[in-house]
Amino acid sequence: MDTGRTGSPPGRRARGPRFVIVGAGMAGVLSAIQLQQSGLTDFTVYEKADRLGGTWRENTYPGVACDVPSHLYSYSFAPNPDWSHVFSPGAEIAAYFEDVARRYGVEKYISYGTEVSRLTFVDGGWDVETATGSRDRADFVIAATGVLHHPAYPDIKGLEDFAGTVFHSARWDHRVPLAGRRLGVIGTGSSAVQIVTAAVETVGELSMFQRTPQWVLGVPNPPIDEDQRQLFRSDPAAMQAVRDELAHTFEANFANAVVDAESPEAKLLEELCVANLEENVADPVLRAKLRPDYRAACKRLIVSPGFYQAIQHPNARLVTDAIDRVEPRGVRTVDGTLHELDALVLATGFRVDQFMRPIEVTGRGGISLEQAWSERPTAYLAVSIPDFPNLFMLNGPNGPVGNFSLIDVAELQFAYVMQLVDRACATGLHLVSASAAATERFESERVEAAKRTVWVTGCRSWYLDDRGVPAAWPWSFDRFRTAMARPNMDDYDVVPA
Ligand code: NAP
C-alpha cells in the first residue's frame, strides 16, 4: 500500500489507508488539514460536541485568553494578520480555528455529536464504536483528545448545599448575572486569575479563595493596531518575522528556564516576578499573602498584566484562610467566617492523567489502555504506546506542556506520525508501535532528567504525577524538535498487518 506520500509505487492496494481522528480541537483540525493536503482523504474526525475548537469551545469564562502570544499560537501554515491583541481573547481564538477549518474545507470530515466510546484493535486494524451506536473501521487512529480537558472538581464538604449557582471555570454558566453580585472564585491558577481580573469591576463583591499564592509575570497585552494588521496583511514576511522572534523567545528563554532550575533564564524569570509583586502591590500585608514560598515557574507561571491591580480593587477580597465547607449562603473558612456569595466558580483545574480516556481502548492481545497505564500514562516520545499499533497521540503523555504553544508541539508530532504512517504503508500495511524496551528507556531517561527541572523545586502542581515526578517533557524544546524530525525505527516494532 502507498500513502501517496512516499516514492513507492501507487495502486498496490485498491484503497488508501483509512484514518479516524478523535477530537476536533486544535490538533484534530490540524490532522484533518494535513491529511487532506497529503491526498489522504479517507478519514473521519469524531467530535463529541456540536462545534469544533476543543479547549476554546469549552472555556468561555470572562477574561479567557491564551497567554501564548497569538502570532505564535497559530498554525504555521495559517498565520492570521488580524489578531486583535498580543494575547487575543478566547472567543477570537475559537473563531480562528473555525475559520481555518472552513477555509481548508475540512468541516465536511467532522462527525459532530459523535463521541468515540471504544477503540478495539482486531485483525490488523481498529474497530471504532461511538456512543451513538455507529461503528467504523480504521487502519490508523490519531487521538487528538487534548490535555486540559476533564474538569477536576474539589472535594469540599457541602458544595451540593450551596443555594446560589456553582460551576467549574470550564463550564461557565452564562445565565448567571454578574453585575452587582457576590462572586466567589476558588483557585489561583491561570483560569482564576483571568476570571478575577475580568470580573472584578462588574461584580458587587469578589472573593478569591487562595490555597497557594502564585508567581505572576506582568507581560503587557496591548491591542495590535490597524496599521500593524495592514502591514501583516500586505507583507506576510513581516508577520513571519514576528512569529520567529516569539518562537525564539519562548524556546530559548522560557523552555530553558523550566527544564534547568539553575539556569540564568530561571533566575531572570524569578527576578521579573518578584519585581512585579514588589512594584505593583502597595499594601505589605496583601503583598505577603500573595508572595509564594516556592520558585517562580515551579507551578505553571501566570501571565497577567492586570491581576495585581484587580486584587487591589475595592470590590476584591483575597481569602487566605482555608475553606472548611460550603453552606447554603456561601463559603465558611476555618477561622469561622462565612463569606456570603451568590455564585461560586470552581477554577480548580483539570484531571491531566486522562488523555483519550474514558474511551475504552484495547490493543494487541487484548491489553487494555487501563492495564497499559495502570501505574500512570506513559508514551514513547509522547506519541506511541507499545502494543497499540497504528494508534498515535497528539499532545499525549510526557510531551512538552506548560507555557508553550501546543500548536507547535502538535505540528511537530503530526509530521513525525506521518513518517510512521509512511513506514507502515511502504510495502503493504504494517503495524507500527513503540517497542516496550524503547518506551522503558525513554521513561527512565525522562524521570532522571525531570530531577533538574524547576517543577520539582518544592510546590504542588498539575505537572507532577502521583510520585511527585513531572509528567511533562523535561528537556529543551530543541531536543523535542530534533526527536520529532525523524523516527528512529529501531525503537519501533513493525510487523505485517
Ligand atoms: P490550575 O492551574 O490547576 O489551578 C487550580 C487552582 O485550584 C489552584 O490554585 C489550586 O490550588 C486550586 N484548588 C484546587 N483544588 C482546591 C481545593 N480543594 N481547595 C482550594 N483550592 C483548590 O487550573 P487552571 O487555572 O484551570 O489552569 C490549568 C492550566 O490550564 C494552566 O496551568 C494552563 O496550562 C492552562 N490555562 C491556560 C490559560 C492561558 O492563558 N493560556 C488560561 C487558563 C488555563 P493549589 O495551587 O493549592 O493546588
- By most ligand atoms within 8 Å of CB, the mutation choice from 72, 167, 211 for ligand 1 is 211
CA 184 / ligand 1 centre spacing (Å): 15
Whole-number average pLDDT of the chain: 94
Give the C-alpha distances (Å, rounded to integers) separating 376 from 148, 161, 286, 460.
Answer: 16, 34, 39, 18
Residue range 164-193: average pLDDT?
Answer: 97
Summarize pLDDT for 392-443 with one digit per residue, the tens.
999 999 999 876 789 999 999 999 999 999 999 998 999 999 999 999 999 9
Average pLDDT on 264-279 reads 95
Tell me the mean pLDDT in the region 231-241.
Answer: 97
**Pairing outcome for strands 116-122 and 360-362:** parallel
Q: Which residues line ligand 1 (CB under 6 A)?
A: 65-67, 148, 154, 156, 169, 186-192, 194, 211-212, 300, 323, 347-350, 460, 462
User: What is the per-residue pLDDT across 82-91, written as a single tens digit (0 to 9) for each?
Assistant: 999 999 999 9
Amino acid at 437: A
Protein residue closest via CA to atom 32 of ligand 1 = 300
- Asked if pLDDT for residue 200 goes beyond 90, the answer is yes
Which grid cell sits at 411?
505540528
Q: Indicate whether 296 pLDDT > 60.
A: yes
pLDDT given for residue 7 in this prediction: 40
User: Residue 372: what pLDDT?
Assistant: 97
Label residue 12 by pLDDT band (50, 70, 90): very low
Measured CA to CA in angstroms, residue 3 lies from 108, 274, 389, 419 at distances of 21, 53, 17, 10
DSSP assignment, residue 366? G
Which DSSP category does 109 fall into? G
Q: How many Å separate Cα 204 from the centre of its chain?
A: 33
Asked if pLDDT for residue 10 goes beyond 70, the answer is: no
Name which residue sits closest to atom 23 of ligand 1, judged by CA.
349
Residue 258 banded pLDDT, cuts 50, 70, 90: confident
Q: What is the mean pLDDT of residues 15-27?
A: 95
pLDDT at 3 over 60: no
pLDDT band at 14 (very low <50, low <70, confident <90, very high): low
User: Residue 307 is inside which H or E element, if any?
Assistant: helix 307-311
Whether the pLDDT of residue 2 is over 50: the answer is no
Q: Using DSSP, how many helices (H) and how many strands (E) does the chain show?
A: 14, 23
- Residue pLDDT, tens place only, 134-152: 999 999 999 999 988 999 9
Q: Calculate how far, in angstroms, residue 190's C-alpha sits from the geometric centre of ligand 1.
A: 6
Distance set, CA 233 to CA 76, 81, 92, 113, 175 (Å): 15, 5, 18, 36, 38
| Ligand 1 atom closest to the CA of 349, numbered from 1 | 23
| % of residues, the chain, pLDDT over 90 | 89
- Residue 147 Cα to ligand 1 midpoint, Å, equals 13
CATH dotted code for 159-220+246-346: 3.50.50.60
19-52+106-150+351-496, CATH topology level = FAD/NAD(P)-binding domain (3.50.50)
Domain ranges of the chain: 19-52+106-150+351-496, 159-220+246-346
CA of 187 relative to ligand 1 center, distance in Å? 6
Domains 19-52+106-150+351-496 and 159-220+246-346 share a fold: yes
- Summarize the confidence of residues 200-209 as an average pLDDT: 98
Nearest ligand 1 atom to the CA of 348 is 7
Residue type, 318: L
Own/partner pairs, 284-292, CB within 8 angstroms, 24+ separation: 286/311, 286/312, 286/318, 289/210, 289/213, 289/318, 289/320, 290/213, 290/318, 291/213, 292/212, 292/213, 292/214, 292/215, 292/459
Cα separation, 448 vs 286, in Å, equals 39
Calpha distance 372→121 (Å, rounded): 14
Please choose from 59, 148, 217 the residue to mutate so as to test ligand 1's pocket, defined by most ligand atoms within 8 A of CB. 148
- Tell me the three cell numbers of residue 353: 492523567
Ligand 1 atom having least distance to the Cα of 148? 30
CA of 321 to the centre of ligand 1 (A): 18
Residue 241 is predicted with a pLDDT of 97
Neighbours of 77 (CB within 10 A): 12
Sheet strands (E) in 283-329:
302-303, 316-319, 323-327
| Residue 23 to residue 205: CA distance in whole angstroms | 38
3-state secondary structure of 297: coil
Q: How far is the CA of 50 from the centre of ligand 1 (A)?
A: 26
Give me the pLDDT at residue 249, please: 87
Angstrom distance (rounded) from CA 116 to CA 413: 22
Q: How far apart are CA 355 and CA 353, in angstroms?
A: 6
Could you please report the per-residue DSSP string of 129-172? EETTS-EEEESEEEE---SS-EEPPP--TTGGG-SSEEEEGGG-
DSSP-assigned letters across all residues of 82-95: T--BSS-BHHHHHH
Query: What is the Å distance from ligand 1's center to 349 Cα?
Result: 4
Max CA separation in the chain (angstroms) = 76
